[in-house]
Amino acid sequence: MEDYLIKGLGYNGQVRAYVVATTETVAEAQQRHQTWPTASAALGRTLTVGLMLGAMLKGDEKLTIKIEGGGPIGAILVDANAKGNVRGYVTNPQTHLDLNNRGKLDVSGAVGKEGMLTIAKDIGMQDYFTSQVPLVSGEIGEDFTYYLATSEQVPSSVGVGVLVNPDNSIEAAGGFIIQMLPGATEETIINIEEQLEKTEPISTMIQKGLTPEEIVAHILGKNNVQILEKMNVRFQCQCSKERIADALISLGKDEIQDIIETEGKAEAQCHFCNERYNFSKEELEGLTG
């Protein structure tokens, strides 16, 4: 199934829903960074939430998510925009822990709980809009549920999941955000809470082949959903050799000349996608002109 996201309303406009399938997106991140299972789950969950939060933006707006919980995985950094593009990495991609007491990947143990979740939004103003909340569990979904309730003032339920195969490849990944809008009745809230209690993990539903449309219908009820938009999503980095060249130019002619004399060439690597860019002596000399 191709990765895509849907936006919808439920219960006659009382509820807003985002559901996304991200198996291929997370698989590309895993391959690019060679993440081990627990790191794959942590990064994959954050990429998935990033896409859904990005879908709440407009036009050329974008956001950056940073999670620092003090765990062995180090920091998680994810960029997303309103067009379905996401990229991200973890400081220590080869992190894997024993399964937790529920037999699941120990994402909380890898991420840690003693730290902060920070989101910076670029909405076209001079300064970024930045908000920060303490981590509540390090499980990612619960942390973003808390973020949306406190920073965005929107009661929400966030579900994200990644299934990893024994060979480290990604079996299934996806997520949902269900938000209560002003005017949501107590009955609607109770109905959704009860349904979420009975709902399988999102990654299990994706693994079984359920589409985002089927998942949102399962959570909200088939007759309660109005699909507003469908959007393809993907892992996509904005790096290029031209951008790296601009960064080298910003070092100044003396610094570039020093690289030419000591190394004779240069190699730069993008943190977000692991792409490597090589510059020959002649190319470096061209940057000093």
CATH (domain of 145): 3.55.30.10
Q: Is the pLDDT of residue 145 over 90?
A: yes
If asked whether residues 82 and 212 sit together in one domain, one would say: yes
Stretch (H or E) spanning 185: none
- Tell me the pTM: 0.93
Q: In whole angstroms, what is the distance from residue 79 CA to residue 239 CA?
A: 12
If asked whether residues 127 and 199 sit together in one domain, one would say: yes
Q: Which residues pair with 13 in a beta bridge?
A: none
Q: Which domain holds residue 97?
A: 4-235
Q: In whole angstroms, what is the distance from residue 279 CA to residue 267 CA?
A: 6
If asked whether residues 203 and 266 sit together in one domain, one would say: no
If asked whether residues 176 and 258 sit together in one domain, one would say: no
If asked whether residues 229 and 254 sit together in one domain, one would say: no
Q: What sign results for the dihedral spanned by CA atoms 33, 39, 42, 48?
A: positive
If asked whether residues 133 and 257 sit together in one domain, one would say: no
pLDDT at residue 223 in the model: 86
If asked whether residues 276 and 227 sit together in one domain, one would say: no
| 285 confidence band (pLDDT: 50, 70, 90) | confident
| 127 confidence band (pLDDT: 50, 70, 90) | confident
Which tens digits make up the pLDDT trace of 40-69?
A: 999 999 999 999 999 999 999 999 999 999
Task: Of 98-102, 171-175, 198-202, give the range with the top mean pLDDT.
Answer: 171-175
Mean predicted confidence (pLDDT) in 12-30: 97
CB within 8 A of 280, min separation 6: which ones?
265
Q: What phi and psi, each to the nearest 5 degrees, are found at residue 243? A: -65, -40
CB atoms within 10 A of CB 249: 13
User: Is-contact 215 173, C-beta < 8 A?
Assistant: no
pLDDT at residue 77 in the model: 98
Q: Is the pLDDT of residue 7 over 80?
A: yes
pLDDT at residue 288 in the model: 82
If asked whether residues 252 and 206 sit together in one domain, one would say: no
